Amino acid sequence: MVLFWPIQQELDCISDSGRVLGKIKFDGSKNEYIFSLASQSTVLSKQDESNIVERLAGLSSGKYVIAMQDDD
């Protein structure tokens, strides 16, 4: 299981053990959501990868949204 936690206009992807796997953010130049690993040494399990791919697809389709934060 992967938790998706909104931070600013990004989603932290956190494993069920509490390890940050990476971030999902919107790339305006490509008009798509992208996932970036937390570090080069981060290894995703098949289940983690599947959860992240499903979340990316859901964000692209509008099934999910990244909550926007107003710092005013």
State the virtual CA torsion across 15, 5, 62, 69 in degrees, nearest 10: -160
Spatial separation of the C-alpha atoms in residues 44 and 66, rounded to whole Å: 22
SS3 67: coil
Query: Residue 19: CA atoms inside 13 Å, Cβ hemisphere, count?
Result: 12
So where are the chain's domains? 2-61
Read off the pLDDT band of 34 (50, 70, 90).
Answer: very high
Q: What is the mean pLDDT of residues 6-28?
A: 88
Note the pTM of the prediction, 2 decimals: 0.82
Assign 43 a pLDDT band (cuts: 50, 70, 90): very high
